[in-house]
Amino acid sequence: MQLLTTPWLPVIYRNGAQGKMAPVDLANEEIVDIAATRADFQGAAWQFLIGLLQTALAPRDGFGWDDVWEEGLSAQRLKDAFAPFEAVFTFGPQFPSFMQDHQPLDGEAVSLALLLPEFPGSQALKRNTDHFVKRGSVEAMCPHCAALALFSLQLNAPAGGKGYRTGLRGGGPITTLVELHRYQTELQPPLWRKLWLNVMPQQAARMNIARGDDARVFPWLAPTRTSEKASGITTPEQADPLQAYWGMPRRIRIDFAHTRRGECDLCGEVSEALLERMTVKNYGINYEGWVHPLTPYRVPQKEGGERFSVKGQPGGLLWRDWLGLNLGCQSDNNLESPAQVIAFNLENQPEDSDTGIWAFGYDFDNMKARCWYEHHLPVLRIPPAQQGAARQTLQSATSFATRTLSKLRSALKEAWFENPKHASGDFSFIDADFWLQTQPDFLALLTQVKNDASGDDRAMLNAWQAVIWRFARNYFDQHAIHNPQEQNDFSRIMRARKKFLAPPTDGKKIKGKKTQEAMK
C-alpha cells in the first residue's frame, strides 16, 4: 500500500459524507476533517499529515508560509512535493516498509492487537488478568487501520518491558495543536488549512526539507540504531531534526505473508488482506534529549533537573496547566514552555482566522493505558509588549489558587480526622472539584486580562482572590460534615473551620477594605 497516493485515511466532507483520502489529495477544499474510528487514531492521522507537510513542503520563511495561506494549496504542488517520498511511505511486504524494522527480526511473534496500548500483553494473558479489555476482541485489522495503529504506537509508546523503548517524547506525551475555529466567514475551513497552521517555516523550525532517501529522517530506511548498551542512545545530533516527526522506538515487522479475507475488527470494512500477526523485538531506538515541535515541556527547578515532556495525568489537563501550554510560566517546581508550534502561532497567526488549542494524549501508568484525554482550550492573543505583565498576573492567580487548594485540602482532613497527617484514602476528588468548578471563573479572568491587558492587575488579582477564597470557604462548609471514613466530631470541625477562615494572602497582606470584606 502506498501511503501517499492510496486513499486510506478516513475523512469527512463539507456536506457530511465520509470517505477515504490519499494525502496527495489534501488540497481538496471539500475535505474538512479526519474521521478516524478511534480518538488516538484521529490524533495520529493529524500528526502524520502535519509531519508530512513539514517534511516535504515547509516554506523557507514566513513570506512563503503566507503565500500558501493566502493563495491556497494546489494539487500540483502537493503532487510534486510528495513524489520524492513515495518509496519511503510504502506499507507492505517489501522492505523498507513504513515504521518497521529494516531487517528481519528473530523476536517474538505476537497478535497485531498489541499495537493498541489498551490490550493486555503476554504477561497479562499468562496470568489471566485481562479483566476489563478481553483478549480476542481485536484479532485482525485491515491495512489502513494497521498503518494508523503502528504509527500511533510509535508516537505514544509507553514503557513496554525490558528494552522496549518509549516514544521520542517519552511514553504518553501530550500533543498540543493549533485548532482553527474559523477562517474569514467560514465555519468549516478545509482540512489542509487547519493542518497548515501547525506547519512552521524552515527558518522558524530550524528544519530543512528532507530528501527522499535520508535515513537520518526516516529510520526505517537503514538498520536500526539498537540500544542493548546504556550508551546506545540517539540524540538530535545523531539524526536530522525532522526525525522528531518520524521517531521509531519499537522494533516491529508485520506479517504480510499470512492474511485472510474478512471484516476489520476496528473499522468494520471488508478487506481482502486482513493482518493478524507481527514480530517484535526489544532494544529499539533509545531517544534522548529531543524536543518535539508539537509537545509542551517542563524543566524541574531543582539543580540538575532534566527537561521532560508534559504527560497525561489522571483528570486530564486542568486550567492550572493553561498558562504553561499557552505562554509558558515558572512555578516553584518547574519552568514550563509551550509547544514550539503554539509559541510560533501566537506570534504569527493570520488576522483572518480564529484559533484555539487542541490538546490530547494518553494517561499511562507504566505499561497500562488508564485513559485517553482531549481538551479544547482558548488562547490568549495580546500584543507581545503586554505578554509579560499578563503572564505575571495569570501566574500569580494560579499560584494563589494552588495555595488555597492546599489549605482547603488540609482543613478538610483536620475536620475529618483526629490525626490528619496520617489520614489514609483517596482525596483526589477535592483537587478535581476545585479545578473543574473554578474553571468558569478562570475563563472570565482570561477575558478580563485580554480586554484590559494594560489595566490594574492588582485590582484584578484582589477580585480573583476574593472569588477563589469564597469558593474554598463554601466548599469546606458543604463537605466538612460529610466525613468519608469516620463519625463527625463537630467540635473538631469548628476548630478546623476557624483555623481555615484566617484570610489567605498572596505572599503579603492584601490591601483594600472591600477585598477583605468580600473574603469574610
Question: CB under 8 Å to 23, separation ≥6 — which residues?
Answer: 3, 4, 9, 48, 49, 52, 78, 82
Are 327 and 83 spatial neighbours (Cβ–Cβ below 8 Å)? no
- Does the pLDDT at position 502 exceed 50? yes
Nine-digit cell string for 153: 504506537
Region 120-136: mean pLDDT is 49
To 5 degrees, how large is the angle CA 138–CA 253–CA 289? 100
Most confident of 264-278, 310-324, 439-453, 490-504: 264-278
DSSP helix, strand, coil percent of the chain (3-state; round to 5): 40, 15, 45
Nine-digit cell string for 214: 535520508
pLDDT of residue 515: 45
Phi, psi of 497 (to 5 degrees): -65, -45
Q: Is 240 helix (H, G, I), strand (E, B) or coil?
A: coil
Chain-centre distance of CA 37, in angstroms?
Answer: 18
Q: Which of 4, 366, 339, 399 is nearest to 205 (CA)?
A: 339
pLDDT of residue 351: 84
Are 236 and 206 spatial neighbours (Cβ–Cβ below 8 Å)? no
Residue reference for cell 500584543: 383
Q: Which of 497, 410, 405, 388 is nearest to 442 (CA)?
A: 405
Are 117 and 156 spatial neighbours (Cβ–Cβ below 8 Å)? yes
Instruction: With cut-offs at 50, 70 and 90, classify the pLDDT of residue 131.
Output: very low
Distance CA 254, CA 69 (A): 39
Instruction: With cut-offs at 50, 70 and 90, classify the pLDDT of residue 263.
Output: very high
Distance CA 227, CA 170 (A): 16
To 5 degrees, how large is the angle CA 273–CA 276–CA 281? 125
Q: Dump pLDDT digits (tens) for 279-309.
A: 999 999 999 999 999 999 999 988 777 899 9
- Does the pLDDT at position 405 exceed 90? yes
Position with higher pLDDT, 265 vs 424: 265
Mean of the per-residue pLDDT values of the chain: 90
Region 57-69: mean pLDDT is 96
Distance CA 207, CA 231 (A): 26
- Does the pLDDT at position 183 exceed 60? yes
pLDDT of residue 510: 43
Region 398-423: mean pLDDT is 91
Strands, E assignment, 331-479: 334-337, 353-365, 368-377
**Weakest-pLDDT range from 168-177, 191-200, 414-423:** 414-423
Question: CB under 8 Å to 414, separation ≥6 — which residues?
Answer: 420, 492, 495, 496, 499, 500
